[in-house]
Amino acid sequence: MERHEPMLSQLRRGVLEYCVLAVLRDGERYGYELVAELGAADGLLTSEGTIYPLLGRLRKDGAVATTWRESTSGPPRRYYSLTARGYDTLERFGGEWTRFRDAVDAILGTGEERWTPSLRSTSSSST
């Protein structure tokens, strides 16, 4: 399916950091692993590098912590893990997201029932 990049980039910007936190909930990851996992989710990550300034900010905000671990190949890697604060943020986002998604679905008619032109005809018939 064809992607509408400008639309997506706005949405992605809003949710990407919570997706990062969600991946880290399952355990610590190093940068490349995180990118690979998020990249596997359709449309979530177009430029892989954009994850790194985001990780930097999450670390600064205290939602994510970094530790250095030896790697089998080459120099040590920085691993990112979820902090208690990050966990709280993720929990709260989960609740907000469900409400938000339901509200948008209800308006677009993209939830349980798909949007159809009949939506327009029902509103005009009521007047």
Partner 1 sequence: MDAKSSQHLVEQYLKELRAASRGLSRGERRELAAQIEEHIRAALAIMPAPGEAGVREILERLGDPEEIVAEQYGPHGARAGIGAQAVTAIVLLLVGGFLAGIGWIAGVVLLWTSQVWTRREKLIGTLVVPGGLFGAFFVASALLVTSVGSALADRSPAASAARTRRCATWSRIAAAAPRRSSRSSTRSCSRS
Nearest to 65 by CA among 86, 90, 89: 86
CB of 25 to partner 1, least distance (A): 21
For residue 62, give the DSSP letter.
Answer: T
Report the SS3 class of residue 65. strand
Buried/exposed 19-49: b ≥16 CB within 10 Å, e otherwise? bbbbbbeeebbbbeebbebbeeeeebbeeee
Helix (H) or strand (E) holding 92: helix 84-108
78 vs 120, beta carbon nearer partner 1? 78
42-61: which residues touch partner 1 (CB under 8 A)?
46-50, 52-57
Q: Please identify, using beta-carbon distances, which residue of 77 and 111 lies nearer to partner 1.
A: 77
User: Pattern 10-39, binding to partner 1, x per CB under 8 A?
Assistant: ---x----------------xxx--x---x
For the CB of residue 33, give the shortest distance to partner 1 in the complex, in Å: 8
State the nearest-atom distance from the C-beta of 16 to partner 1, in Å: 9
**Pick from 27, 107, 24, 101: which is nearest to 58 by CA?**
24
User: Cβ 92 to partner 1, closest distance in Å?
Assistant: 21
Q: Contact positions toward partner 1, by CB under 8 A?
A: 13, 30-32, 35, 39, 46-50, 52-57, 71, 73-75, 77-78
